[in-house]
């Protein structure tokens, strides 16, 4: 055997002797063994806990995104304009602003909103009254466009596809 091999064997034997004395000491050996065991187990548990925590965060984020999609989370347009009304809110706003006055034709006109477009249906007595109503609806803040399905007495009501488009 060479001198280097013998020196390495001696160093390993000496280290084993020191470790044995350190851990097998009658006064403190048990405590030292337990501390060494706990530290070794902690080194194994820490990465497992971090992995579990990361997995839990990813699962929570995915659940939030899925629930947002299911329950109609805000779109980018809603985030840019938080005051934008949905169809029901816009319909209520138009009804309250346009049909507020006592001389308005609220019983002769049916109003509904689909995808931000206000549809007016019904029968009015003159073209001027129809035009005034369409203009007053168009003037309501938040109305994108107005489709008039209004007609005069004795006329055939226009179909939805043939409606006059009036973009705001």
Q: Give one DSSP letter per residue of 83-124, joined into a string.
A: T---HHHHHHHHHHHHS-STTS-TTTEEEEEETTEEEEEEE-
State yes or no: pLDDT of 80 exceeds 50. Answer: no
Enter the pTM of the model.
Answer: 0.48
Domain with CATH 3.30.1340.30 in the chain: 87-167
| Cα distance from N-terminal residue to C-terminal residue, the chain | 98
pLDDT of residue 146: 92
Residue 77: pLDDT band with limits 50, 70, 90: very low
Instruction: Answer whether 135's CB lies under 8 Å from 166's CB.
Output: no
Q: Is a pLDDT exceeding 80 seen at residue 75?
A: no
- pLDDT grade for 142, boundaries at 50, 70 and 90: confident
Nearest C-alpha neighbor of 149 from the set 135, 138, 139, 134: 134
Q: Tell me: pLDDT of 165 over 60.
A: no
User: pLDDT class for 168, splitting at 50, 70, 90?
Assistant: very low
Residue 33 has pLDDT above 50, yes or no: yes
pLDDT, average across residues 83-112: 86
CB 159 within 8 A of CB 152: no
Fold of 87-167: 3.30.1340
The rounded distance, in Å, linking the Cα atoms of 52 and 69 is 26
Q: Which two tokens stand for residue 23?
A: 């851990």
pLDDT surpassing 50 at residue 78: no
Position 56 pLDDT exceeds 90: yes
pLDDT of residue 1: 60
């Amino acid at each position: 055997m060479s001198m280097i091999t013998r020196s390495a064997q001696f160093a390993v034997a000496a280290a084993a002797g020191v470790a044995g004395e350190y851990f097998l000491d009658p006064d403190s050996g048990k405590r030292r063994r337990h501390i060494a065991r706990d530290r070794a187990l902690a080194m194994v548990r820490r990465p497992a806990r971090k992995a579990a925590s990361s997995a839990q965060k990813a699962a929570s984020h995915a659940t939030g995104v899925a629930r947002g999609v299911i329950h109609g989370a805000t779109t980018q347009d809603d985030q840019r304009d938080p005051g934008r009304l949905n169809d029901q809110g816009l319909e209520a706003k138009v009804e309250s602003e346009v049909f507020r006055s006592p001389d308005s034709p609220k019983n002769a006109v049916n109003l509904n909103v689909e995808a931000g477009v206000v549809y007016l249906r019904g029968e009015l007595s003159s073209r001027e009254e129809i035009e005034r109503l369409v203009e007053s609806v168009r003037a309501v803040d938040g109305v994108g466009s107005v489709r008039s399905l209004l007609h005069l007495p004795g006329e055939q009501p226009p179909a939805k596809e043939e409606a006059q488009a009036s973009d705001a």
